[in-house]
Structure formats: structure tokens, C-alpha cells
Structure 1
Amino acid sequence: MLIGIISDTHGLLRPEAVAALHGVDHILHAGDVGNIEILGTLRTIAPITAIRGNIDTHGPCADLPPTDVIELNGALLYLVHSIHDLDLNPTAAGLSAVISGHSHQPSAETRNNILYLNPGSAGPRRFNLPVTLAHLRIEQNTLTPTILTLL
């Protein structure tokens, strides 16, 4: 199963992001959507699970949950916009991965057998940080993340 992970669109859904998500089985948006229409567009590609971020304070984006958990292909994935707001023990919760955004800095690391994945920002460029999103392949209880640089 191939999961597309995007975050921090801030109201901008780049054509490069749409192209990079074609062919995924599910999309996770880790917050700072900025415009609810982005989720509608992403939903035409694959089913989507989305949470709100710190800029999603008005309109329909404010109605998104602050965190979410989803099981995909046997892996339990937890979404939280800022890793600093992680409000549970991932090991005790039986999580396979913690998906976050907020920092605009892509990263993927495994600690205590749990993947911590931040796809970076796919929206407006911030400072000199790259514009990125991630793919997460889940096969037989193995999670393989890939950070994709769009610009």
C-alpha cells in the first residue's frame, strides 16, 4: 500500500504535489490546510484523512480534528500537526508511526521501532527550505518512507 503524506499547504496546492500524489492508495494531510477546497481536490485522487493545523482557525478547516489515528494495511498511524503537541505515548498506544507537520522541515527517523515522519511543506516556500511531501509504503508490517522534493 502506498500512502501520500502532505502538510502545510497553506491554501496552495501545487500541480507538482498533485502529480506526486497520483497513484497513492490513501492521502494523509498533517494540517495547515488553509483552504478546504484542497481536501476536495485531493479526495479526487484517493481517500483522505486530514487534521487541522495552527492556521486552520476559521471556516471549514477549523472543523477538522486536531489529531487523528488511522489503520492502513495493518499499520496504526497517528497524525498531529506539531510534534510538540504529541499527547500520548506512541509505544503504549501501539503506534507504527507518528505523522506531523508544522516545522516545514522534512524528516524521517525511527525511534523505539516507531517511525516519526514529517513530510515538510508542500505549500508556499518558507525561507530556504525545500517544497516537499512524502510517500509511505506499507508492506508486511514494514514502513518505508520517501521524502519527495517538488521544488
Structure 2
Amino acid sequence: MRIGVISDTHGLLRPEALEALAGVEHILHAGDVGGIEILERLRTVAPVTAIRGNVDGFGPCAQLPETEVAELGGQTIYMLHDALALDLNPEAAGFAAVVSGHSHQPKMEWRKGVLFFNPGSAGPRRFSLPISVGFLTIENGAMTPELKTLG
């Protein structure tokens, strides 16, 4: 199973992000959506699981959950916008991965067998940080992360 991971679109869904996500079986949006139309467009590619970020305080995006648990490909993934707000032990909870956004910095790191994954920002450029999306491939019970820089 190939999962697309996107975050911090802030109301801008770049054509190259949509192109990169083509063919995935599911999309995780880790918050700061910036407008419900972003999720509607992503749903034309694959089913979407989304959470709200700190800029999603009004309109339909305010109704998104603050955290979410996605069970995909036999793996359990915990989603929250800001990894610094993590208030549980993902290893003890049985999560294979923690997906977050907020920092706009792409990052993948394994801690005690749990993948901490931030796809970076796919929306407006912030400082000199890259525009990026991520992917999680689940095969034979193993999860492989990948980051893709779009610009």
C-alpha cells in the first residue's frame, strides 16, 4: 500500500503536489489545510484522512479532529499537527508511525521502533525551506518512508 502524506497547504494545493500524489491509495493531511476545497481536490486522487492545524480555526476545517488514528495496510498511524504536543507514548500505544506537520521541515526519524514522519510543507514557501510531500509504503508488514522535494 502506498500512502501520500501532505501538510501545511495553507490554502494552496500546488499542481506538482497533486501530480506527485497520483496513484497513492490513501492520503494523510497533517493539518493547516487552509480551506476545505483542498481536501475536496485531494479526494479526487484518493480517500483522505485529515486533521486540523493551528490555521484551521474557522470554517469547515475547524470541524476536523485535532488528532486521528489511521489504520492502513495493517499499520496504525497516529496523526497530530505539532509533534511537540504529543502527549502519549506511541510505542506503548502500538503505533507504527506518528505523522505531523507544523514545522514546515521535512523529517523522518525512527525512535524505539516508531517512525516520526513530517512531510514538510506543500503550500506557500516559508523561509528557505523546501516544498515537499511524503510517502509511506507498507509492504509485508514493514513501513518505508520517503520524502519528495517539489521545489
Question: Which TM class, normalised by the smaller chain length?
Answer: over 0.9
> 1:148: how far off?
0.4
1:136 maps to a residue whose letter is L
Q: Does 1:96 align with 2:85?
A: no
2:45 & 2:56 partners in 1: Cα distance?
22
CA positional deviation for 1:88: 1.1
2:118 is matched with which residue?
118
Stretches of 4+ moved more than 4 A in 1? none
| Equivalent residue pairs, number | 151
Residue 65 of structure 2 corresponds to residue 68 of structure 1: no
Q: Note the aligned Cα RMSD (angstroms).
A: 0.5
Question: What SS is found at the alignment partner of 2:31?
Answer: coil
Please give the secondary structure, in 1, of the residue aligned with 2:18: helix
* Structure 1 segment 73-88 matched on structure 2, within 5 A: 73-88=73-88
Per-residue CA distance 1:86-115 (angstroms, 9 max, x = gap): 121101110000000000000001010000
Instruction: Name the CA distance, whole Å, in 1 between partners of 2:141 and 2:97.
Output: 11
Q: Residues of 1 paired with 2:143 and 2:87: CA distance?
A: 23
Cα distance in 1 for residues equivalent to 2:33 and 2:70: 19
TM-score calculated relative to the size of structure 2: 0.99
Distance 1:30 1:140 in 2: 25
Amino acid at match of 2:44: T
Q: How does 1:23-34 map to 2 (within 5 A)?
A: 23-34=23-34
Matches of 1:87 and 1:138, distance apart in 2: 26
How much does 1:80 deviate? 0.4
- Unaligned runs of 5+ residues in structure 1 are none
* In structure 1, distance between residues paired with 2:53 and 2:17: 19
Distance 1:73 1:122 in 2: 24
- Is the partner of 1:40 in helix, strand or coil? helix
5+ unaligned residues in a row in structure 2: which ranges?
Answer: none
Q: How many Å separate the matches in 2 of 1:126 and 1:6? A: 15
Trace 1:14-53 onto structure 2 (pairs within 5 A): 14-53=14-53
Q: Partner letter of residue 95 of structure 1?
A: F
